[in-house]
Each structure stands twice: as C-alpha cells, then as structure tokens.
Structure 1
Amino acid sequence: MIGKNNMNIPTIGIVTPCYNEELVLNETSFQLNSILSDLVEKNYISEKSFAAFIDDGSKDKTWNKIEENAKQLSHIKGLKLAGNVGHQKALLAGLLTYKDEADALISIDADLQDDVSVIKDMILKFISGTDVVYGVRKERTSDTFFKRNTALLFYNLMKKMKVNIIHNHADYRLCSSRVLNALAEFKEVNLFLRGIIPSIGFSKDIVYYDRLDRFAGESKYPFRKMAAFAWNGVTSFSNYPLKLVTIIGFVIFFICIIMTGYALFALYTGNVLPGWLSTVLPMYFLGGVQLFCFGIIGEYIGKIYSEVKQRPRYFIDKRIG
C-alpha cells in the first residue's frame, strides 16, 4: 500500500482539457499548483507531481497562457493537440500521454466549478488502496430549474438504457495507473468516459463536493451539445434503442388491429368517407414511425462506420513542461 509514511510516495498528475479557456487559465493554474505544492510539502505526494493542461485546438490565447504558466509555476505542464477533437478525446489524450508519468491521474475541467479542495481527499483514498475515486456533486440546488431537470432526465435516461454511470458525476475523478492501463485497451472512436471508467472495474470510492460558480468565461456545453453528448452515451453503451424498435413494431401491430376494427365499424355505420380513415391515418402514422426507427438504426450504422475506419482519435502538436 502506498502511504504517507512509506518510502514509495506517489506521483500524482492532474489532467485538465481546455478549449478557449484563456480567461480562467491563470487562476486554475495557480490553484492547482498551490494544492500540489502544499501536498508535496506535507509529504503526501512526490515533488514530480504535476498538473497538465490539454489545449483542444483553442482559437484564443489558451496555449500562450499554458506556456506562460508552465514557465512560471513549478508543477504545470502543457499538451497542445493539432486540432479540436472534443472534450472526451482531449481528456483521453491527456490521460494516455501522462499515464506512465504518474501513479494516478486526476481529471478535472478548467472552469473551477469542481471543488479543487477535495483533491486531497481523492489522493488519501488512493493512498489507502482505492483505484478509482469519483467526484460526485452533493446536490443541484445552485442549478437553474431547466438545467437541474435536464440533468435529472439525463441520468434517468442512462439508467433506463442500462448504461453504467455514476449519478451526478461528470469527469472529475482519480484513476490509478492500472485503471489507466486498462483504459488504453479501449480502441473505440465514439468515446463516453463516464461509461467506460465504471465498466473497467477495480476498487472504487466517492468524494462529495459542492458545485461552484464558473470562475470566468462561458460554458462550452450548451443544451444542444449536452443532448448530443447524452445520445452518444446511450448509443455507445446500450443497444436498448434497437430493442425499442422491436417494441414499437409490436405496439404498432396492436394499434393497427384496433384501427382496422374501428375502420370496419365506421364503414358499417356510414359515419366516415369510405377509404379515408383506412388510408390516410395509417399512412401518416406508419410513415412517421418508420422514419423514427430508421433514424435509430442509422445512428448505430454511423457508429459502426466510424469504428471500422479506426482513424486516430487525436494528434499531438506540442508539449511543454
């Protein structure tokens, strides 16, 4: 077991994906560097511990800020990707790039909404032998009514679709080196790390924290992107939507039997124009359902298309620190 009083003091890395985060980077770098320095001074972690910022093809001065902070602060590193690949792939790039340089890596967003004070608690749980430590929000009272209820809908949807995720957990977590080595075995292009990490297994624990207000800048995940992210999670980890197509087929068959009986009754009583009910309503109804089912099947075919090509998920442009 790795421990404070053991000669084998762990090296901890913090991985932070960034996209157009120039307004918050100085403060985030300062806070993470201070936390690492304090833990090094108290002999909890090795002086080789670091915080690595991953520039996901930002269009502002994010990389310039990372370079400046890496030169001024002792524990700061930087990784610049060749282009914008998205939050999940940028995070994966950081985890896989630095997994051999630390005993465990902590992933956290750059906006400082995840409480950095619980990083120490995560590390202590890792020292005691835990492989995965999830950062979970205590409550959502600070969210707007819309955001709180859409988040609840998201987690309930994942549960219904049999996706194994941690409730109220985003991407704030600690992973040991053996979890990261297992993660490297996943070659899929359509990434959903919130589902992949729990599926790996190993020992796990939770630290709870209060979600803070964004320090500066704007959220990079509006509702449209969140909805796309949720759908990607469902289709990446569950074939339940395909089963839903079969269920819909049985329901339509049952409804058609009822409609046929109604149409025959209406024709017998003379309350409807002959041919209208039996032609128009089934045409619109079945046409809409067919398009819906084809859309679901097409989504899975599209994912198969992306996976079989096995294109690289990211390219690294520069490193610093």
Structure 2
Amino acid sequence: MTKQIAIVVPCYNEEAVLKETMRRLNHELTSLKDAGKITRDSRVYFVDDGSHDKTWGIINEFVQTGAPAIGIKLSRNRGHQNALLAGLWIAKGDAVITIDADLQDDVAAIGKMIDEFDCGSDVVYGIRDSRETDTVFKRLTAHTFYKLLTTCGIETVYDHADYRLLSRRAVEALKEFREVNLYLRGIVPLIGFKSSSVKYDRAKRFAGETKYPLRKMVTLALEAITSLSVAPLRLISAFGFLLSAASFAITFWAIGVRLFTNEAIPGWASTVLPIYFLGGLQLLSLGVIGEYVGKIYLESKSRPRFIVEAVSELRESSRLK
C-alpha cells in the first residue's frame, strides 16, 4: 500500500540554501511519487525557527507557487530540537522524515528509508558512512561526544544526527515523552519499536554558515548528558570516596613527616591542603548539582516547548487550479 510521507526541515537563517533544498527534495519526492512509493499528497514541512533573514518569505513563496510545501513559523527561536518537534507534531502522513536544510545529508537516502519502513521498521536511522568533508576537529569532537554518551550509559546511535524516519505510531509514542530538556537522538531509541538504518556519505554544506559552532556543540553535549543520565551525580559520590581515601593518606603522610623528620612546616598540612582540595571539589560538585537542579526548575514550570505563530499552506482546491 502506498504511504503518505512528510519531510520535516527545521530552518534558522537558511535563505542562502533553502531554494536548492526545495529543488532537491521536490525532485526526490517526484521520483518517489512516479515510482508509486509515496502518495501524491506527500509534503515537505519547513519549520522557521525564528529566523532573522528572508527564510519565512522564501517558504511562503514555495507554498504560493504550488510546490509540495507547507510552512510552519515559530513565534521565536526555540532551538533545533524544538523546531523538529513542531514539525513532527504538525506533519501529516504515515511516516515523517526529518532532515536538516544544509544539504549535508544525502536526500537520496529517503527512498532507502521508505523501503525499510515498508519492510516493517518504525524507526529508520540515517547513518553517516563517511565524514571526510568534516574537519579533523569536527570528527574528533564528534567521536569523543559519542564515546562520552556511551560511558554515561546513554543509548545512542553512532554517527547518527537527526536524519531519520519515524512511523506514525513512533511519532505518537514520542509525544509521551514530555520533558522540556530535549535530546531527540537519545530519546528516540527509548521508544523501543523495530528499527533499522541506512548509510550515506555526508556532503559539504551547500551554502551559509553552520548552526552548530563549538559553543552550541558543548551545550548539546551537556543537554544530552544531564537529560538522560545521572552518571555525573554518581561521579560526585566517587570523588567523595576518593577524597576520603586521599585525606587519610595525606594525614598519615603529615604525621610521618612530623614524627620522623625535621622538615615539617607548622600549620601547612592542616591549612593549605584542605582549603585547596576541598574547595575545588565542592565547587565542582555544586556546579554539577546546580545543572540538575536547573533542569528540575525548567521542567517544573511546564512551559510550552514552542509556540506556532503561523502556518502557510495552499489548499488542495487552489493547488489544482
């Protein structure tokens, strides 16, 4: 049975690349429609995440010229993960595919994802088979990030970003996860439905600037760890144990120096060591605990993840004229 497919594209200041993105996605959709793999009412949902450039105007242009596109405008910038959610919640179809606007993810993999979906997979991950276009620093930090998540006990898919297919029932299951602090790459595997993957080569960004500089990469890593793992809190307990052991060792060392040598400096061991050692550890512990308390604070307020300001859609009757 032919399926209706929705493609969700989060956009933030993407005017330089958006027309090429629409061209490639439209070409892919047309090929899949002609092959009978998807229905004629399959659409691309562009989610404008509070852009400051002409992104929304270009999306509106797509809609008004009859392209298979629907525009969703958020009231303000809410971040990549919330923009994805907005598209997932609004998009109609038997399955929803999420892909970034920068064209680094190969749109040709969409057909392979649909094949896996037809074979019974509710979740299909797009896996980067090659990252040769990334800088050495980018590859190193990415691999370190995935290893850190694994160390913290977070289930993650290696070399997978947010290029994936979710069946309708997987989307509905995802709605049950109500936390405000989002890391979809870690939440989607928790759904537990049958999953598979397709591989593709990562390309260079077609145009514009990356939306994930080092600062945002670090923020994403902290969000992932503190949203899905209590490992840092347990690490504090381990530090406490090590501190106790080290304190006993230093105490015996100081006593030995005092009793068996003439090199003891009065007051040094009992004043300097505890101040630096305990002070540094306390600040570190308070920082980690504060991060989790901040997460609890944000969750307790239950503020909306996003607010949709406008939806741009051409009615089917107008599209057929």
Which of the numbers 17, 25, 33 marks the counterpart of 1:32?
25
Which residue of structure 2 aligns with residue 276 of structure 1? Answer: 268
Which residue in the other structure is 1:84 paired with?
77
Per mean C-alpha deviation after superposition, the further-off stretch among 228-237 and 266-275 is: 266-275
Deviation of 1:211 after TM superposition, in Å, equals 0.5
C-alpha separation in 1, matches of 2:190 and 2:152 = 15
Report the Cα offset of residue 144 of structure 1.
Answer: 1.6
Secondary structure in 1 matching 2:130: coil
> Which of the residues 244, 265, 287 maps onto 1:253?
244
- CA shift, 1:72, in A, is 2.4
Q: Aligned partner of 1:76: which letter?
A: A
Matches within 5 A, 1:128-207: 128-207=119-198
Once the two structures are superposed, residues 124-147 of structure 1 have per-residue CA deviations (whole angstroms, 9 ceiling, x without a partner) of 111121110000011333322211
Query: 1:89-104 counterparts in 2 under 5 A?
Result: 89-98=82-91, 101-104=92-95
Partner of 2:43: 50
Counterpart-to-counterpart distance in 1, 2:86 and 2:172: 13
Measured against aligned partners, the alpha-carbon deviations of 1:97-139 in whole angstroms (never above 9, x if no partner) come to 11xx200000000000001111000011111211100000113
2: CA distance, partners of 1:54 / 1:136: 23
- Deviation of 1:272 (Å): 3.2
Unaligned runs of 5+ in 1: 1-5
**Residue 169 of structure 1 aligns to which amino acid in structure 2?**
H
In 2: Cα distance, 1:217 partner to 1:142 partner: 16
Contact 2:10 2:46 in 1 (8 A): yes
Spell out structure 1 runs of 4+ moving beyond 3 A: none
Describe the SS at the equivalent of 1:158.
Answer: helix
Question: Structure 1 length as normaliser, TM-score?
Answer: 0.95
**Is 2:285 aligned against 1:289?**
no
CA contact under 8 A between 1:33 and 1:73: conserved in structure 2?
A: no
| CA displacement at 1:174 relative to structure 2 | 0.2
**1:192-222 Cα deviation digits (max 9, x unpaired):** 1001100001110000011000000000100
User: More deviation in 256-265 or 113-122?
Assistant: 256-265
CA displacement at 1:235 relative to structure 2:
0.6
- Counterpart for residue 212 of structure 1: 203
Quote the Cα distance in structure 2 between the aligned partners of 1:218 and 1:41: 34
Number of positions where the alignment pairs a residue of Structure 1 with one of Structure 2: 312
Please give the residue correspondences for 1:97-116 in structure 2 after superposition, counting only pairs within 5 Å.
97-98=90-91, 101-116=92-107
Deviations 1:1-50 (A, max 9, x none): xxxxx3xx100000010100000000001111111111111111000101
Counterpart amino acid of residue 253 in structure 1: S
Give the equivalent residue in structure 2 for 1:3.
none
Residue in 1 aligned with 2:112? 121
TM-score, with normalisation over the residues of structure 2?
A: 0.95
Two-structure CA RMSD over aligned residues (Å): 0.9
Q: The residue matched to 1:162 in structure 2 has which SS?
A: coil
What SS class does the counterpart of residue 285 from structure 1 fall into?
helix
The worse-fitting range, judged by mean Cα deviation, of 205-214 and 33-42 is 33-42
Question: Alpha-carbon deviation of 1:73?
Answer: 4.5
Instruction: Give the structure 1 partner of residue 68 of structure 2.
Output: 75
Structure 2 gap ranges (5+): 314-321
Deviation at 1:281, TM superposition (A): 1.7
Q: Which amino acid aligns with 1:181?
A: E
Is 1:242 aligned to 2:233, yes or no?
A: yes
